[in-house]
Each structure stands twice: as structure tokens, then as C-alpha cells.
Amino acid sequence: MNITITFILGLLVALVGVIPPGLLNMTAAKISLKDGYSRGITFSIGACVIIVFQTYIGTLFARYLSNHQDVVDILQRVAFVLFVLITIYFLLVAKKEAKPKAELKVKSKKSRFFQGILLSALNVFPIPYYAYMSITLASFGWMDFEKTSIFSYVAGATSGSFVAFYFYIFFFDKIKSKTLTSQKSMNYLIGTVTGIISIITLFHILKDI
């Protein structure tokens, strides 16, 4: 498998997962606004250190599951139901604008790198996310689980995560007041992404029947 393609796939998968507003990217943006770009970058690097391990663990888990197709079939059906429910929630239920949340106060300004490591470590969602996406990509023959492919995929995912953080750090101040960054718009964005993933999952389930 071409490692460049695998790298790009990892980058795109990470962008899909990180671009919607979340704890890490919003914290990186707030740090950059409050303490400067360099501290936001430092926080992002710390977060990406953990993302390397999370992506690697998720990919190894996917490799294990790829050798147990019966388990994969069950997980795909469960994932399909979950993604459909998430899509319905964000497109139809979560229509109201969320109230502004209180800003997270950080007492120390000297440990942004370790703060990024800590918050990223507390966020365990990337492990099942990358595991599922790896299985999906492998099922379409777009990647395999050879060592070089795994390392390339992890590198792409880490790079994609950093690109997303970079985007928030340098452009959040300019776009935060626009409609694109409103909670309602982001709900539609997340719902659209999960809807696309649901369609891909359904297609693969029907293909195996």
C-alpha cells in the first residue's frame, strides 16, 4: 500500500474528527487568544504527543479485529446505529443555540505542553474512532496493517490533528463571531459528517450480506 495515500487518509480522518469544536481545539484557541500563539502551539504539540499513541493503539486494535470478522460485523452494525442516532440528534434535535460556557481557568502558564498532554489523555474517544475508521478504510482496500502503513497512518492522523489545532489557533479570533462558528451551524456540520459515515457504513454492511 502506498504510504503517501495512507498518510493522506490518516490526515483526512483526523481533520474530520478534530475540526468540529471540542475540548482540545477550543482550549488551544482560548490559550492563543489569552497568552499568545506560541503557547497555543505548545499546548497543541502536547496534545498531539498523546494522539500519536491513541492513534497507534486504535490501529492495533483495528488490526486485531480485522482477524476476527465476526466481531467486526457486529461492531459495524452497532456503529451504524450509533452514527444514525448521532446524526438525527445533531440535525433534528440539537437546534437551540447553546449558552456560552464559562472559560476554563488555568492557574499556571508555564505548563501548556503538559496541559495539552493531560487534556488529550483524558479524551479517550480517539481510540475507538481511529479503530473504527481504520477498519472501514481497510475493508475498502484503501489501507492495510503492515508496519509501514500503520506508521504512515499514525503520522497522517497526528499531522491532521495539528493542522486542525493550528486552524483554531490562528483563525478563531477572526471567525468566532460569524455564523460558521455558531453552535447551531456546528451541530449541522457534525450531523452531516456522521450522516456520511453512516451511509458508508450501511453500504459496507449491505455489501457483505
Q: Residue 87 pLDDT more than 50? A: yes
Name the residue with cell 453552535: 183
Count of structural domains, the chain: 1
* Cα-to-chain-centroid distance, residue 69: 25
User: Residue 113 carries which DSSP code?
Assistant: H
Name the residue range of residue 136's domain: 3-208
How many other CB atoms are found less than 10 A from the CB of residue 59? 26
The pLDDT assigned to 103 comes to: 46
Percent helix, strand, coil in the chain, to 5, is 80, 0, 20
The pLDDT assigned to 71 comes to: 67
Half-sphere exposure of 149 (CA within 13 A, CB side): 18
Cα→Cα distances 65→7, 60, 144, 156, Å: 21, 9, 13, 22
On whether the CB atoms of residues 129 and 17 are closer than 8 A, the answer is yes
Cell readout for 189 is: 456540520
Least confident of 11-25, 51-65, 124-138, 170-184: 170-184
The more confidently predicted of residues 56 and 184 is 56
Mean pLDDT of 14-38: 83
